[in-house]
Amino acid sequence: MESGLDFHTAKALLDWHVDLGADEAIGDVPINRYEVPKEAPKAAKPEPADAAPVVTQQGPDAVGIARQLAQGAQDLDGLKAAMASFPHCDLKNGARNLVFGDGIAGARVMIIGEAPGREEDQQGKPFVGPAGQLLDAMFAAIDHGRDHAESPIYITNVLPWRPPQNRDPKPDEVAMMLPFLERHIALANPDFLVLMGNHSCQALLGRKGITKMRGQWDEVFGKPALPMLHPAYLLRMPHAKREAWADLLSLKDRLRGR
């Protein structure tokens, strides 16, 4: 049976659904969930009490594979290629782009966020939506920026692919991508890390509670790390910008060697 829609009409309908936020397919074919099955499924027969236990075969060691690929990368281009070739993170299948990094590699400050959102997934760059615009304004206030000639910053995320509907990262997703992030930090080699929000702190410090952790310097992979409130949180809670400003001044002091 042929569809009555021509190409342009079908594309217009698809674009309309994407604008509404339905930007991923759940299945390849439609399912009539109101259809009554012709025959009820039969219950599985119970196993005899003396039956041998069934051993489920373990899947691939995704974390180990990620670690090997990450360690094999000799520069940031090689690391990006290694991440793109990594087949074990299902987020890759639903994302439009791998969001690797932005700014100037080698900058003294490396910012680590959570995961790409819709705008980031579309453009292939981290922090380009409303939260990213606020982040740029925050660092411009201390004379830093992505393309600042004298005081650049470098930005990446814990996860390089957008989780569906911007849901929180899952522990297994973070675990398998963490070796890539560790290698990313080593290759970019910043002097200071800024951990934006709960999820980056959970991934790199092993704990949450950003409203209590913010402003307290810690250490990640041998580098000084400053937890900060995520710009998305600041958009929802503008009164917290005072704390964010205090943290930026703390970072500025560290950069000046104080």
Instruction: Please give the Cα distance from 181 to 108 (Å, whole number).
Output: 17
What was the pLDDT predicted at 255? 96
Using 70 as the pLDDT threshold, list the residues of the chain that sit under it: 1-5, 8-59, 258
Model pLDDT, residue 54: 45
146, 128 in Cβ contact below 8 A? no
Structural domains in the chain, CATH included, are 62-255 (3.40.470.10)
Residue 53 is predicted with a pLDDT of 45
Cα 40 to Cα 10, 32, 34, 43, 184, distances in angstroms: 37, 16, 14, 9, 53
Q: Give the number of other Cβ atoms within 10 Å of residue 79's Cβ.
A: 24
Tens digit of each residue's pLDDT (9 = 90 or more) over 117-176:
999 999 999 999 999 999 999 999 999 999 999 999 999 999 999 999 999 999 999 999
CA distance 217 to 219: 7
